[in-house]
């Protein structure tokens, strides 16, 4: 498996591997300020992540808009690798934190955030857990 920057030209291969929905969302960021990485086996994408910078409280943070790994390649460290690359990228840009949002039904992701040292702040609507704000401080951390 190799991880490399994902470009718009990779979108057809991504749609073939993960479904057409990916062509119709705005969660993939390809502008030069953003960081979009794919994990590939040969030419086939087996995972992807897209992160963009966001100003917050006067400082920069990096927002993970999407992360997904093919079912057949889960629990093999693909997300861990892509997140470490994203943390490196964000740190190099001077971002103080990585942020994400997980709905409460994303049990695999929630376990992953916890395992990788992300902080989860629960969000409730009418006393029902809807999801978590996910954050990780980057200052002084190693990838
Ligand atoms: C969440 C997701 C991206 C994880 O990808 P992955 O490549 O399987 O994750 P990794 O193998 O890098 O896991 C890193 C660690 O997270 C934890 N983890 C990941 N998936 C887990 C699971 N299903 N159950 C428990 N722990 C899990 C483990 O501690 C794991 O380390 P270990 O395997 O050495 O114990 C993947 O399950 C996925 O694509 N899910 C559907 C999409 C999704 O929910 N995206 C996130 C939306 S917020």
Query: Per-residue pLDDT tens for 8-64?
Result: 999 999 999 999 999 999 999 999 999 999 999 999 999 999 999 999 888 999 999
Judge if the beta carbon of residue 50 lies within 6 A of ligand 1.
no
Question: What was the pLDDT predicted at 89?
Answer: 96
Written as six digits, the tokens of 3 are 């991880």
Q: Determine the average pLDDT of the residues in 86-115.
A: 97
Question: What was the pLDDT predicted at 139?
Answer: 73
- The yes-or-no verdict on residue 128 having pLDDT over 70 is yes
Strand partners, 56: 59
How far is CA 136 from its chain centroid?
A: 12
All structural domains of the chain = 2-137 (3.40.630.30)
Which one of 27, 51, 79 would you pick to mutate in the ligand 1 pocket, going by the greatest count of ligand atoms within 8 A of its CB?
A: 79
User: Which residue's alpha carbon is at the smallest distance from atom 15 of ligand 1?
Assistant: 112
Sorted by sequence, the CB contacts under 8 Å of residue 41 that are 6+ apart come out as 1, 73
Q: Which atom of ligand 1 is nearest to the CA of 100?
A: 48
pTM of the model: 0.95
Kindly indicate the confidence band of residue 142, based on its pLDDT and cuts at 50, 70 and 90.
very low
């Amino acid at each position: 498996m190799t991880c490399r920057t994902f470009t718009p030209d990779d979108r057809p291969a991504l749609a073939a591997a993960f479904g057409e929905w990916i062509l119709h969302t705005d969660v993939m960021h390809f502008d030069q300020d953003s960081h979009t990485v794919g994990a590939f086996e040969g030419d086939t994408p087996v995972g992807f992540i897209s992160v963009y910078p966001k100003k917050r409280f006067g400082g920069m943070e990096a927002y993970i808009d999407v992360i997904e790994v093919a079912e057949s390649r889960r629990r093999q460290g693909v997300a861990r690798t892509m997140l470490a690359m994203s943390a490196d990228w964000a740190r190099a840009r001077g971002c103080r934190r990585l942020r994400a949002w997980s709905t409460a039904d994303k049990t695999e992701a929630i376990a992953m955030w916890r395992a990788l040292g992300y902080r989860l702040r629960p969000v409730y609507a009418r006393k029902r857990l809807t999801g978590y704000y996910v954050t990780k401080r980057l200052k002084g951390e190693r990838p």
